A and B are shown apart, each in its own frame.
Chain A
């Protein structure tokens, strides 16, 4: 009797779960009129930017009447959501991917190699090389950058004029100018971001390598000596500060609030400053040369295709349109991002633009923020410890030694098999 009872329960449970699972599986939507519907996932952005993307997508749908694009916005924890959905087999067909996450995802094989989709008239050579290299591995291309931004020196024109300093051209000039611009702890000459994403090129300016063979390599003399002046400017000169020292969220806000006269910021800061702090008259210049060399960071985001997508040809049509000459021109025309295609940059004339010019000028010599699949572990540990040196809790070497040991321990554990 008991056996039968259990049999019934199990049978009902199985039927129920089977029907539920079947319900989950039938998520494939086929839109009316024989159109192929593909999903494009990205993170949320400003209303203006969203409107622009909608416009680009409308253009695409008009020129490709058989394809319908469903745009999905993942408002928060973008990578967590994307990874989880990819694991569950419910990933979008096409999605944004930050360059720093690209090597890790490429290794797992969830991204579709795009080589055999690319046609000659797509003109790969038109892309800025460093921006496209981060989406490549072993001769395969896994994504195309939709745009990029470099860092440039943003400065408060009025403050520089009142202090009687020229826009600094070298890092030494920047330190000297900061001294003149600093007013106690009310206004700092230079707003700093003590994290690896912003200091990577500074750390490597003496020829050291921050990441070597996928391992953290912070404690070589080249790297330590390159970073020490950055810390000294905060601790000894007291002419630089991080955002939390003055109650700001990021350096762009420091500049806008008039708490820093100069900051290194990217393209994204320009519309922010114009809309939030319209009274600040700021200028842009190339990042001052460091040890006689030009250097800056570049951040880029690409469109990639889900290897599990069932509508690959349509997905490629979308990627090739969005990163193609026409789509990119529309997308970058409102200056939210800079075009990764040289021809588009030239056509839009951004290289001669007084505000964007210095950002575009940085592209050829910029260090792209992406370095193998272990970079997330490395930069997390760097950021954590660098701050303790930055606020003078302990010497730089000691802090970075601990960060390096911790990062490499984690990486060894991660890679062990």
Chain B
């Protein structure tokens, strides 16, 4: 090895790392560090406040999840939420994007209008929707105007989660719509022209050209949707004033983690165990999704 070359290489590397330092520092202290700390917490019983103590408890926090009724309810609610919301918001955003890309009159203004909900903070949206879901609010007024039954959206455990679902689909679908719109611009128009020559109608074009071309983007949208919906927190927190009620119907996993981490004393370890469990669930869901779309993403 040539000494001067290695010296220069070293200098270059040191320079590179120097520039990387701020980012490395942030990553290490605010992302990687906390992850390892959370893993440590999940296997301990911790009391952080006052006379702090931590005691190794092995798998106890995880076995507790098996018997914790509220954890089961939270996981079930979250799964139900994911299974209903992700497909609907994906299909809805794809259809909306296709419609807005079809060359209608005034489509630019419609794009802006559809995108507006995404720009509002979810906390503000939730508050506005709570007002609309009110017993004598806008949604019930509309329902009764067309002769449909009205609900106590906020107070009735049977419909409270549905109210959050509706609200969330309405606010996230436009965001994915924009991603779809960008992807639609990339589809070569020659494909559509060829299809037209073959006499394909609008639906056939959508089904046989648009949908297959959008597969990689759909994969992305579904994964982002999965992660986003599994982490549902703020809407159900505001909806139920932090309790997950009525009757645990809006209790989600992240809300439960929050309750154990901050509302109860001495259950930080259990909250960390729940968080790890959620991470594993999301990982599995994502892997399943990847498996289903594997051949598609290769084309």
Contacts and interface: CB of A to CB of B under 8 A. Distances in A.
A245 B264 CA distance: 30
A383 B157 CA distance: 13
B245 A383 contact: yes
Nearest to B7: A1
Contacts of A130: none
Contacts of A383: 243, 245
Interface in A270-284: none
Interface in B109-144: 134-137
Contact of B49 (A105, A384, A391, A417): A105
Interface in A385-406: 385, 387-388, 391, 393, 402, 405-406
Contact of B10 (A4, A12, A393): A4
B264 A410 contact: yes
A250 B259 CA distance: 23
A244 B155 contact: yes
Interface string B31-70: 0000000000000010111111001000000001001111
B245 A387 contact: yes
A124 interface: no
Interface in A360-401: 373, 376-377, 380, 383-385, 387-388, 391, 393
Contact of A108 (B21, B50, B245): B50
B248 A384 contact: yes
B91 interface: no
B21 A242 contact: no
Interface stretch (B12-20, B172-180, B191-199, B222-230): B12-20
Interface stretch (B95-103, B206-214, B265-273, B287-295): B265-273
A242 B155 contact: yes
A245 B152 contact: yes
B247 A385 contact: yes
Contacts of B49: 83, 86-87, 105, 108, 110
A384 B134 contact: no
Contacts of B270: 413
A73 interface: no
Nearest to A399: B247
A67 B203 CA distance: 77
Nearest to A307: B50
B6 A13 contact: no
Chain A interface residue number, banded: 35 or more
Nearest to A81: B262
Interface in B216-273: 243-248, 259, 262-267, 270
B296 interface: no
A58 interface: no
B195 to A, nearest CB: 52
Contacts of B266: 414
A380 B10 contact: no
A87 B264 CA distance: 14
A417 B45 contact: yes
B155 A387 contact: yes
Nearest to A80: B262
Nearest to B29: A17
A5 interface: yes
Nearest to B258: A80
Contacts of B137: 247
Contacts of B247: 384-385, 387-388, 393
Contacts of A5: 10, 13-14, 17
A246 B21 contact: no
Interface centre among A9, A110, A393, A413 (most CB of B within 10 A): A413
B193 to A, nearest CB: 55
Nearest to A407: B70
B262 A83 contact: yes
A16 B21 contact: yes
B25 A384 contact: no
B264 A109 contact: no
Interface in A31-83: 77, 79-80, 83
A1 B6 contact: yes
A109 B51 contact: yes
B263 A376 contact: yes
B154 interface: yes
B62 to A, nearest CB: 12
Contacts of B157: 387-388, 391, 393
B246 A384 contact: yes
Given A110-B49, A380-B259, A413-B270, A9 B135 contact: no
B264 A8 contact: no
B284 to A, nearest CB: 26
B70 A406 contact: yes
Contact of B267 (A12, A105, A414): A414
B17 to A, nearest CB: 5
A153 to B, nearest CB: 24
Interface string A74-104: 0001011001101100000000000000001
Contacts of A292: none
A169 B291 CA distance: 69
A410 B161 CA distance: 24
A9 B265 CA distance: 39
Contacts of B244: 384
A164 interface: no
Contact of B48 (A87, A380, A393, A410): A87
A372 B17 CA distance: 54
A100 B163 CA distance: 32
Contacts of A77: 262
A409 interface: yes
A1 B55 CA distance: 41
B243 A417 contact: no
A79 B263 CA distance: 8
Contacts of B267: 413-414
Contacts of B14: 5, 8-9
A244 B21 contact: no
B150 to A, nearest CB: 11
Counting from the closest, the 6 A-B pairs by CB-CB distance are A108-B50, A244-B155, A247-B135, A388-B247, A109-B50, A110-B50
16 contacts: A8-B17, A87-B49, A104-B265, A107-B50, A108-B265, A244-B154, A380-B243, A384-B244, A387-B246, A393-B157, A402-B69, A405-B69, A410-B68, A413-B267, A414-B266, A417-B45
Given A79-B262, A110-B50, 20 more contacts: A1-B10, A4-B10, A84-B262, A105-B49, A107-B50, A107-B265, A108-B50, A108-B265, A109-B51, A110-B49, A246-B135, A247-B134, A247-B135, A373-B265, A376-B264, A380-B259, A383-B245, A391-B157, A410-B264, A413-B270
